[in-house]
Amino acid sequence: MSQVEAHPEVDEAKQRLIEAEEEYQRARADDYVARLIRDSVIVDAHRAGLSSRAISELVGDIGQPNVVRARRRAVSRREVVPEGLLSPADALRQSGLSPRAFILAVRAGSLATVEVPGAARAFRVEDVARLRSAS
Amino acid sequence: MSLGFARPADLPSLTPESDGPVRFTLDETVAIVEDLVRIADGLRHDDREVDAFLIDLVVNRILERAFGGDR
């Protein structure tokens, strides 16, 4: 038994850290799932005949040119997104890889995917950045 | 009726009865993704964010398939 394991307060702190990390990861996944749900609703609306303009008037953070331009000034699309997770398309862009290299990197396990509910996959910003710097 | 383009000889045609999965090679998938990403980036450049977003969703679906696995 190591010295660290012998101290109950250390074990308690370690457990709190594990729980906090799990909660943090769960919150990030929940954000991503919420976004996926909204994405599917947007697609449904588009298929139902709503125009892109009509959708943009109802959806908060896309399709508003002034907002988009302001956001681009503040945060480049190449930088960290608030949720901490990237969709496959955004991960591809941020990786700086060709689509072929990106697909093969995922297949080979060089770029880990994050499993999120709803049979969707996402990527951690830091993993994509690591792959970009390594390539 | 001719559609105005030729089908490569080594690709099977899809009959009206076919309802199975449509498979693309990696080369074809890469070409499709490259085209769609370019289109989405162009739309985004023109501030057509919703249209770009919808194209990105298609890219996501294609990439998910290309990664492999049971999805």
**According to the model, what pLDDT value does residue A81 have?**
45
- B22-59: per-residue pLDDT in tens? 889 999 999 999 999 999 999 988 878 888 888 998 99
The two tokens of residue A8 are 């109950």
Report helix, strand or coil for A6: helix
Residues of A in contact with B53 (CB under 8 A): 39, 42, 62-63
Percent pLDDT > 90 in chain A is 22
Rounded Cα gap, residues A128 and A113, in angstroms: 10
Asked if ipTM goes beyond 0.90, one says no
Tokens of B12: 């099977």
The label of the residue with tokens 């660290």 reads A4
DSSP annotation of A111 reads S
Domain definitions of chain B by residue range = 26-67
Q: Which of A43, A32, A38, A22 is nearest to A119 (CA)?
A: A32
Contacts of B25 in chain A (CB under 8 A): none
- Chain B: give the shortest CA distance to residue A20, in Å: 30
Q: What is the pLDDT of residue A36?
A: 76
User: How far, CA to CA in Å, does A54 sit from each of A100, A101, B58, B60?
Assistant: 35, 37, 20, 23
- Max CA separation in chain A (angstroms): 66
Tell me what the mean pLDDT of segment A6-15 comes to: 74
Q: What's residue A95's pLDDT?
A: 93
The answer to whether B49 contacts A55, with C-beta atoms less than 8 Å apart, is no
Greater model confidence, A67 or A128: A128
